[in-house]
Amino acid sequence: MIVAVYGDWVLDSDVPLWARVPVVPAVGLQVVASVVLLGGALAERQRRPSAVWLSLAVAASLVLAVFPLVRHNYGLWAVGPAVTVAIGASFLSPRPRTALIICAVILALVPGGAVSLAAGDGQTAYAVLFPAGLVAFTVWTVLGPLWAWRIAGRLDRARLLEAEVAVKDERLRFASDLHDIQGHHLQVIAMKAELASRRTATDPAGAAAEMQEIRQLCSDALRDTRAVVRGIRRTTLDEELANSARVLAAAGVDARTHLEPGVRDLELSESARTLLGLVVREATTNVLRHSHAGSVEVDHRVSDGRLRLRITNDGADSALGPSDGTGLNGLADRFRATGGELTWARVAGGRFEVIAVLPAGTTTEGPGTPPGFAGPPG
């Protein structure tokens, strides 16, 4: 705006050279100072304005005001000062900002009116009112987008924080469940072990009985731990799709799910739903941890008696390869054991794609325990 409005005046041959020449460097200085100061106002954590750049902006504004005002250009002289006032106001708290804007609008009434009255050119009303209105309008056009920018930044940070809190809540829940299961078992095992060690010399039979109980307690602890893990990892596809949509939405990612009508009517085995649910969970976790995705698409359909689940996102990290991590690799082994297939790769358009295929009649679980959540981007 500064370059456009003052550039037209500088190129006007009717304006004397002595008035145009000082305006050229002042325009350049005003533009640079405005960019630097606005950069600080747009930063995630707003910085205090540089006193040097603010002083240079004020000095340039004075030059841009004086020479057009001397030439009785009442519509131009207030542009530079108005921009400086608007940028300066963006660094103030509400009450000082309001005071600065009111004072600037009132002061803008004086210079043009005084010059017009002294010259007797009959433009006093225009010379008084237009600069004041220009200051108010410029402040509104600068502060409005700045306010919207800051609100959008706060909302974005709130979404990221909500996603992090959701992950931490899940970790705390698992830790609590594990503590509840293991705390009692470990305490009793420790007590039994100490009792057995004391009875070894005096009562070997009693010590042996205590050791037998310790063995049983260890088996119970292992069984309960596996139950906790299965409670976390064994889940249904529908639950994971709903959870994925919720978590991705909290992180500001647009998640879209396309389910072929026949999929809902198909009676899937528990193992098939578990495997497909784990794929959705793994892909969702990798999107949050390893990508900068703005959108995720989930497509689930039946083709030639095989279930096909495809998950794509538009934020793949090119620095990572498909072999990094163990999450998807471990799932791929389980899919192969059930006659299915799990593949992932980058595709055209900077997208990352995970495709899971299972026979519609899958009934076996596959070897090994469910894999961890670490894995390649996806």
Question: CATH number for the domain including 170?
Answer: 1.20.5.1930
Give ∠ CA 131-132-134 in degrees, rounded to 5. 60
For residues 195 and 253, state if they share a domain: no
| Max Cα-Cα span within the chain | 121
Average pLDDT over residues 9-21: 87
Percentage of residues of the chain with pLDDT beyond 70: 82
pLDDT above 90 as % of the chain: 17
Task: Answer yes or no: do 217 and 82 share one domain.
Answer: no
User: Do 220 and 243 sit in the same domain of this protein?
Assistant: no
Average of per-residue pLDDT across 14-18 = 88
Q: Is the pLDDT of residue 133 over 90?
A: yes
User: Tell me: the pLDDT tens digits for 151-200?
Assistant: 888 888 888 888 888 888 777 767 766 776 676 677 678 777 887 888 88
Q: Could you tell me if 262 and 225 lie in one domain? A: no
Contacts 24+ apart (CB under 8 A), 9-15: 9/68, 9/73, 9/76, 15/71
Number of domains in the chain: 3
Task: Record the pTM.
Answer: 0.47
8 Å CB contact between 126 and 108: no
In a domain, 111, yes or no: yes
Residue 303 vs residue 136, higher pLDDT = 136
Same-domain pairing of 180 and 139: no
Domain hosting 85: range is 2-155
User: Is residue 10 pLDDT above 50, yes or no?
Assistant: yes
Rounded CA gap, 375 and 326, in Å?
5
Q: Is residue 378 included in any domain, yes or no?
A: no
If asked whether residues 346 and 262 sit together in one domain, one would say yes
Contact 17, 71 (CB under 8 A): no
Residue 374: is its pLDDT beyond 60?
A: no
Q: CB under 8 Å to 21, separation ≥6 — which residues?
A: none
Verify that 67 and 184 share a domain, yes or no: no
What is residue 378's predicted lDDT score, i.e. its pLDDT? 36
Instruction: Give the whole-angstrom CA distance, residue 283 versus residue 135.
Output: 52
More confident residue, 113 or 286: 113
Residues 283, 328, single domain; the answer is: yes
Q: Write phi, then psi, for 222 (nearest 5 degrees).
A: -65, -40
Whether 370 maps to a domain, the answer reads no
Residue where a domain terminates, one of 100, 122, 155: 155
* Residues 214, 345 within the same domain: no
Element (H or E) spanning 111, and its range?
A: helix 110-119
Q: What is the DSSP code (8-state) at residue 318?
A: T
pLDDT band at 316 (very low <50, low <70, confident <90, very high): low
Average per-residue pLDDT for the chain: 80
**DSSP bridge partners of 342:** 356
The answer to whether residue 323 sits within a structural domain is yes
Q: 22: which DSSP letter?
A: T
The residue from 232, 253, 283 where one domain ends is 232
Q: Is residue 69 part of a domain?
A: yes
Whether 6 and 137 map to the same domain: the answer is: yes
Mean pLDDT of 254-281: 75
Tokens read off for 134: 């220009």
- Cα–Cα distance for residue pair 172/232, rounded to 1 Å: 12
Residues 12 and 106 occupy one common structural domain: yes
Contact 54, 4 (CB under 8 A): no
What's the Rg (C-alpha) of the chain? 35
| Contact assessment for residue 34 and residue 138, using Cβ atoms and an 8 Å cutoff | no
Distance CA 10, CA 61 (A): 15
Task: Tell me if 56 is assigned to some domain.
Answer: yes
> What is the arrangement of strands in the sheet containing 295-303, beginning at the earlier edge strand?
254-259, 295-303, 306-313, 351-359, 341-347
Query: What sign results for the dihedral spanned by CA atoms 144, 145, 150, 154?
Result: positive
CATH number of domain containing 289: 3.30.565.10
Q: Which of 191, 212, 232 is the endpoint of a domain?
A: 232
* Pair 49, 143 in one domain: yes
DSSP string, 54-71: HHHHHHHHHHHHHHHHHT
Identity (one letter) of the amino acid at 37? L
- Say if residues 143 and 86 touch (Cβ distance below 8 Å): yes
Q: What is the pLDDT of residues 22-56, one digit of tens each?
A: 999 999 999 999 888 888 877 766 667 788 888 99
Query: Does the residue 197 lie in any domain?
Result: yes
**Is residue 65's pLDDT more than 60?**
yes
Position 342 in a domain: yes
Tell me the pLDDT band of 320, cut-offs 50, 70 and 90: very low
Give 322's pLDDT tier (boundaries 50, 70, 90).
very low
